[in-house]
Structure 1
Amino acid sequence: MATTIEQQTALDASLVRSTQRLRIGRSNFRLPSDIQSKEATLQVVYDVLRNSPLFRAFQVNADVPEIYMQEFWTTAKLHHNSIRFKIDTRKSVLDLEAFREMLHISPRNPNQLFADLPTKEEHLDFLRFLGHSHDIRYLTDVNVNKLYQPWRSFASVINKCLTGKSSRVDSFRLSQAQMLWGFYHRINIDFAYLIWEDFVYQVEHKSQKRSNEMNYPRFMKVIIDYFMTRKPSISR
């Protein structure tokens, strides 16, 4: 028997009260496989990303009930190196390897160990080397719009794909600087780990969140779909 609107509303409320729900705004940007740009510099960025381990992570998407996305953020807790959460009251555990699998991020060189990442100070030196036109003392001083091309476009596209933000004056995260460093040096860095660390940080500090907007909505959909596929008992 079909569920009425009133019944569905009651079911949703039993999972997450309306007062606890986050606003699901614009999703982090999805790169189409055939994306093109009339701007030459931006096209170079798309071509490089298309041949990088990150490209499929910037493409994946899924269609899932929004209430499960809300339930994830309400119940998610960091436990050692994993995240424990619920979908339709069913307990689940998300770790880095599952995250890597669902985002389809494969190492650039499967038989080669991931390169060690630079220190924060080395990253700041690297960003200065890329031509940041203003003084940088801390990562929060970085303004994407102050980078020389093509790195300005690289940083902007990565930011948009990860966070959904397209403004070049948005805050620049360490993980994004590390990704730029990996692209520049063409070395085998663990891109999945960098996104995972950002995701874990958001879960760990969700109680301190100032905005009422949900982080990483596209990745959230992929996570929910991954577990729904593996747990048929979860209602669609």
Structure 2
Amino acid sequence: MALRIAAAGGRVALWDIDEAGLARVRDEIAAAGGQAVAIPCNLADRAAIANAAQRTLDELGSVDILINNAGIVSGQNLLEVSDEQIELTFDVNTLALFWTARAFLPAMLQRDHGHIVTIASAGGIAGTARLVDYCSSKFAAVGFDDSLRAELNSLGSKVRTTVVCPYYIDTGMFAGVSTRFPFLLPILKPEKTVRRILGAITGNKRRVIMPWFVYTTYLLRLAPVAVSDWLLDFFGVTHSMDRFIGRKS
């Protein structure tokens, strides 16, 4: 995503806890003629986020588009995952949304221009086994976007928000997951997902759900819980994490 934004002329501030990975992407952008700064940041640390935000403003000036794309997953049952991992999941997947928005939104409101993009998950619409902590954090992310959008609308602001709710993406984060009907619920390709996200940003689309079949989750809300649970099981969602491996590094 950063490569495409830089290729389109955007100046990019890259944040990550992985300094080597940051440098690699920054150098790749520079080699292609783009402009990027690499800012190491632990998104589970509110003070680190504040420092990274200030450095971003110092080096690049105003921020027009904030893309909250960080996320972690444990892939464990509720009684197996540690207390510390649960807290870390919410720190990165949920609370970081608040701290980054609070860092950059004031200037956006002053300019009456800006866009805050929240990369949530289909797991923020429907929960599943072995993802209790993850899905809960992503439900909160979807609620964050809904509420922030309402707040901006109430202010009459032109600052926009977009929430993205993709099914599993083939990035390694969810290595080992399975899909029973890949023609309905495919494991998404990163490049296609990036195109959809960037298209939503340029088109000021408020919500992106991928693939289209995930939209049926809203219909399940109208069905009795037993029926909804049966359908999620039938389509393989409930057991999609049974062979989860995850990213090893």
TM-score over 0.5 for the pair: no
Normalised by the length of structure 2, the TM-score is 0.22
Structure of greater relative contact order (alpha carbons < 8 Å, 6+ residues apart): 1
- Which structure is higher in strand share? 2
Flag the structure with larger Rg: 1
